[in-house]
A and B are shown apart, each in its own frame.
Chain A
Amino acid sequence: MSVVARHFGVWTALGIVVSALIATGLLGLASADGAMGLIAAGLFAILGWQLIGVIASYFADVPGARVMSAALLGLIGLFVWEMVVSALNVPLVILPAPSVIAARIAREIPILWADFQQTFVKGALSGYVIGCLAAFLIAIAIDRSAFLQKGLLPVGNFVAALPIVGTAPILVMWFGFDWQSKAAVVVVMVFFPMLVNTVQGLREASVMQADLMRTYAAGYWQTLFKLRLPAAMPFVFNGLKISSTLALIGAIVAEFFGSPVLGMGFRISTSVGQLALDMVWAEIAVAALAGSLFYGTVALIERAMTFWHPSQRKT
């Protein structure tokens, strides 16, 4: 894999690559000269890739190796981005450097926090809870009718593939500019994915398991709570995970159609208009962080609740 590692032995190679990497990094950050920065960026990328190669070839089984290599790739990306932008004097209106974006984030924390509350907490989260809960309850309600299930599954799966975001202008018209309309968009967006997944999940319990419940003389509700809902959990969480990102997307895009002077979508569209691209990137960073944390939280709850499922097994 790694040419350096083959010649010098793993640990020596690791030492050489890491120290060279740090040296190039410092050199790049200290260089005032454009050409120098570009060379440092190129060198940093090559050395970093070598290091990932060493990790992948010799330390792949060490816990945290995957995180390390991913973080390293992210670091390479950030460094090259920073170097290229400053070396080529890329104007702010095209691509701001990561350091500029970070400075902007640090300066605008109150605004970012207010936008986050407006869009994420009020719009996305409330819509997510309402939409997912409604879909879950309706899925259980139609669960007794095989006819309805047969009809709803394909229709729901079809609707889930449609550009539902497009309903945003209508819902903004109905519910006004404030967060209620954003929550409504989110409800509509998450409803069908959640419904389809729950209905599908409730069909998961096998005939044999259902027969076993019958031999225990379990009633409908007992079978539902003790067998079929637990069996449906992987699907329910699949729906919840898909919905978690849809919720944020819905809330942000709905703000493009009208919002109070607050919110992530509003800030993105107005900052784009003012060509304040560093602010746009700051909002995107917040959105990315919020989206990943939201998804990660749902995934963690899933792991705790469906620990028995084969897909949760550690390989």
Chain B
Amino acid sequence: MSDTPISAPGAAIGRSGRVAMSLHGLRGALLPILTVVAAIIALWYLAAVPMNMKSALDQAERAGVSVSPDTGVARRKLSGITLALRNPGVIPNTLEMDRPLLPSPHQVVIELYNTVIDKNVTSKRSLVYHAWITMSATLLGFAIGTTLGIVLAVGIVHNRAMDMSVMPWAIASQTIPILAIAPMIIVVLNSIGIQGLVPKAMISAYLSFFPVVVGMVTGLRSPTAMQLDQMKTWSASKAQTFWRLRLPASMPYLFTSLKIGAAASLVGAIVGELPTGAQGGLGARLLSGSYYGQTVQIWAALFMAAICAAVLVGLIGLAQRMMLARMGFGR
């Protein structure tokens, strides 16, 4: 399985088809996973202290607490770690800053709780509202891209001329930073009067399109010569070979590339919200957060995006498991 050519480098995400496929059957790793996650959180807390130390000391000085060194100029020369060691009393403050350089994990969790659970879903300050704006563009684009991708893959597998002329472009297009054209698509579609959902969905569709094409072509070609010969001895027609052999055989490949495509769609929708200063969506939250220095808001939006990606990939994984189990792939 190690030479499965499913990778979608142009898709703006780093998920590797090869690794994802060989990860299958890696169960019972809960304890190691939890350990790694705990280590990451601990590192995060450790990093937050020195990173926020300088501004925490500035605040403490203004509040009348004596800190060492007592001038901002002298403090600027020292590293965050040295400052933390010399002012251990201020360390708790670094984790509760208003606009920290690096918010502590619990601040992000609290912000997520406040904006997800506490706010009304229809409110503009609710992160669910923004996530839904992004997700609707993602889902629409993902559906369009996947459908077109499968159709093109079927054409490539059945038509020699398409295989020879279109396939090299499909592969080459993956090496191109497609995301760079996102702002242009948004502005151009804006100028001819198309706004809102559709431009973002088009970027999402474009990003999810190529992984699906490449994965599906590989999948539809995965039946061995022996299996194809067997269909021939049954004098199966081309359509029968397609429906009974090629399509079922392509399913594992389809799902792997669907996961890549879904994650890429989400990235596309988020980046699509950047250039025009969109009113809503996770990308707009990122942008406004970076304009106003609201770091906690940025991190909360990032985590919401991560949750969306996890939900998408998880749902596809669930569908994959159910489908493959029904088809007898599951061992």
Which A residues contact B (CB, under 8 angstroms)?
Answer: 1, 49, 52-53, 55-57, 60, 65-67, 69-70, 72-74, 93-95, 147-155, 157-158, 160-167, 169-170, 172-174, 189-190, 192-193, 196-197, 200, 204, 234-235, 238-239, 241-246, 248-249, 252-253, 256-258, 264-265, 268-269, 272-273, 275, 277, 280-281, 283-284, 287-288, 291-292, 294-296, 309-311
Residues on the B chain within 8 Å of A249, using CB: 12, 177-180
Question: CB < 8 Å: which of B164, B191, B267 contacts A163?
Answer: B267
Residues on the B chain within 8 Å of A166, using CB: 270, 282, 286, 301-302, 305
Cβ of B160 within 8 Å of any chain A Cβ, yes or no, is yes
CA distance A167 to B271 in the complex (A): 12
CA distance A256 to B271 in the complex (A): 10
CA distance A52 to B168 in the complex (A): 13
A93-B191, A151-B34, A157-B19 known; 19 new pairs, CB 8 Å cut-off, are A56-B160, A57-B160, A69-B165, A73-B165, A73-B166, A154-B26, A160-B13, A163-B13, A163-B305, A164-B14, A165-B270, A166-B302, A169-B286, A242-B9, A253-B271, A253-B274, A258-B290, A280-B181, A295-B9
Cβ of B200 within 8 Å of any chain A Cβ, yes or no, is no
Instruction: State which residues 88-136 of B face A: CB under 8 Å.
Output: 101
Cβ of B310 within 8 Å of any chain A Cβ, yes or no, is yes
Instruction: State which residues 166-189 of B face A: CB under 8 Å.
Output: 166-169, 172, 174-181, 183-184, 187-188
**22 pairs across A/B with beta carbons < 8 Å?**
A1-B160, A70-B168, A95-B188, A148-B32, A155-B33, A160-B14, A160-B15, A162-B13, A162-B306, A163-B309, A167-B302, A169-B286, A170-B302, A193-B16, A200-B22, A242-B16, A246-B14, A249-B177, A257-B290, A280-B181, A284-B184, A291-B10
Residues on the A chain within 8 Å of B309, using CB: 161-163
Q: Which 5 A-B pairs have the closest CB atoms?
A: A193-B14, A151-B32, A169-B290, A311-B3, A151-B36
When the two chains form their complex, are residues B177 and A291 in contact, meaning their CB atoms are under 8 A apart? yes
Cβ of B37 within 8 Å of any chain A Cβ, yes or no, is yes
When the two chains form their complex, are residues B16 and A239 in contact, meaning their CB atoms are under 8 A apart? yes
Q: A174-B101, A256-B274 are in contact. Are A244 and B9 (CB under 8 A)?
A: yes
When the two chains form their complex, are residues A264 and B16 in contact, meaning their CB atoms are under 8 A apart? no
**Best-surrounded residue of B16, B178, B305 (most CB of chain A within 10 A):** B16
CA distance A245 to B266 in the complex (A): 17
Residues on the B chain within 8 Å of A157, using CB: 15-16, 19-20, 23
CA distance A241 to B178 in the complex (A): 16
Which B residues contact A (CB, under 8 angstroms)?
Answer: 2-3, 5, 7, 9-10, 12-16, 18-20, 22-23, 26, 29, 31-37, 40, 101, 160-161, 163-169, 172, 174-181, 183-184, 187-188, 191-192, 259-260, 263, 266-267, 270-271, 274-275, 282, 286-287, 289-290, 293, 295, 298-299, 301-302, 305-306, 309-310, 313
User: B189: nearest residue on chain A (CB-CB)?
Assistant: A94
CA distance A52 to B135 in the complex (A): 40
A125 to chain B, nearest CB (A): 14
CA distance A67 to B167 in the complex (A): 10
Residues on the B chain within 8 Å of A309, using CB: 3
When the two chains form their complex, are residues B266 and A53 in contact, meaning their CB atoms are under 8 A apart? no
Residues on the A chain within 8 Å of B163, using CB: 56
When the two chains form their complex, are residues A292 and B188 in contact, meaning their CB atoms are under 8 A apart? no
Q: A163-B305, A311-B3 are in contact. Are A242 and B14 (CB under 8 A)?
A: yes
Q: A94-B188, A246-B12, A287-B176 are in contact. Are A154 and B23 (CB under 8 A)?
A: yes
